[in-house]
Amino acid sequence: MTNTTPENNQSPAVTVSGLSKRFGRVRAVDDVTLNIPAGGVYGLLGPNGSGKTTLLSMLAGFLNPTAGAITLLGETGAAGQRAALRHVGALIERPTFWPYLSCRDNLRCLQGIYASHGGDDEIEELLDTVNLDGDAATRKFRACSTGMKQRLGIAATLLGNPSLLILDEPTNGLDPSGIVEVRELIRDLAAADSTRNGQPRTIILASHLLNEVEQVCDCVGVMARGKLLYSGPVSGMGTTSSNGRVHIRTTDDDQAANLLSEAGWELLDQSEDGLNVAATPGREWEITRDLANAGIYVAELRPTVGSLEAGFMAVTGESGGENE
């Protein structure tokens, strides 16, 4: 398992160690160890049944781990996790509210239960933030569209301005403009500090949309078959699929291709744009040396960064098709 996170002076928002969850004979989450740095957006990717939602449910305190330990916002143990959960907003699987209450009353109820002190101003601000103000606020939850329910779910996670947000596919059911709005909201929320000791807010975002993760997240974790296969910067996912691949443009690509082949370099492909050559990182200079010695000059040489999709496929071992 790869577990690389960016350099960060602050203690991680979430640390899990050897975390497992079994449902009968099924290992939904299998010995996951993970650090999620404080601040920023951490994406969680994985195919259906990979264990993402189970992992998030354990972080949110909904599921009891079979084994392993969770440190949430620096708090450990059952009592510690419960204390930390006061500063955690979670929307997992689907938004759940009392169907006979209006959107506004649902939020007021939860505000009372969570002992959030924002009062009516907080409710109105949140309704406005998720575009549920006006008539939508007075609509009964059971009469809301899927998108409205999802928006209300996001609003509920923001009650009390929590330090950690756990969002499980928050753009599900939203129309394209709604998806864009929610992504912008997530970025804005990540940029703002939480009320808890002025700490930066951390957002964990599980999504099946690779471009969403690419656009919104700073770091990403990839799960498959209950295991965490990769954890690190989003950009690192691309290089995972392109290790040892260099793109070259020269003054004479045909001659360069012949020369490099004769010199023992593996020519991967050639097009009008240039050559792709297999080269382990750190040996790129040898290519320029060989070409220069033959009187061929390099116009461009760069490691090829693969797409997140390609990286995802490489990490999960998927041969193709839709991921979740």
Partner 1 sequence: MTNINPVIVALRWEWFRLSRRVGFWAIVGILGLFVVGALAIAVGMRFVPAVGETMPAYGFPHVVFDVLSTLAPFLGVILAGFIFGGEFGWGTWRASLARGMPASRLILLKILLGAVVLVVIWIVAWCLAALVGLVAGENGAEGIIQQSPGFPEGWGDAGLKFASAWPVAVAYLALGTLLCVIGRSTAFGVGVGIGLIVAETIGYRLLGLLAGLIWDIELVDYLRWTLQGVSSGLLGNDEPKAIVFLPALLAYAGLFCWVTLAIFSRRDLDS
Binding residues (CB under 8 A) for partner 1: these are 57, 60-64, 81-86, 88-90, 92-94, 96-101, 105, 108-110, 112-115, 117, 119, 156, 160
Q: Which of 31, 43, 19, 20 is nearest to 166 (CA)?
A: 43
For 123-145, give one letter per residue: b (16+ CB within 10 A) or e. Answer: beebbebbbbeeebbebebeebe
Closer CB to partner 1, 97 or 312, in the complex: 97
Nearest distance from C-beta of residue 158 to partner 1, angstroms: 12
CA 149 to chain centre: 22
Closer residue to partner 1 in complex, CB, 97/265 = 97
Question: In Å, how far are 35, 305, 317 from 185, measured between CA atoms?
Answer: 24, 28, 33
CB 23 within 8 A of CB 189: no
CB of 35 to partner 1, least distance (A): 22
In the bound state with partner 1, the residue whose beta carbon lies nearer, of 94 and 283, is 94
Minimum Å distance from CB 98 to partner 1? Answer: 6
Closer residue to partner 1 (CB): 85 or 279: 85
Bridge-based pairing of strands 26-36 and 164-168 is unpaired
Least distance between partner 1 and beta carbon 42 (Å)? 19
- Cβ closer to partner 1: 83 or 191? 83
Nearest to partner 1 of 86, 187 (CB atom): 86
- Note whether 157 and 128 are within 8 A (CB): no
d(CA 99, CA 63): 24
* CB of 77 vs partner 1, minimal distance in Å: 13
E runs forming strands in the chain: 14-23, 26-36, 40-45, 67-72, 75-76, 88-91, 164-168, 202-206, 219-224, 227-233, 245-250, 266-271, 274-278, 298-303
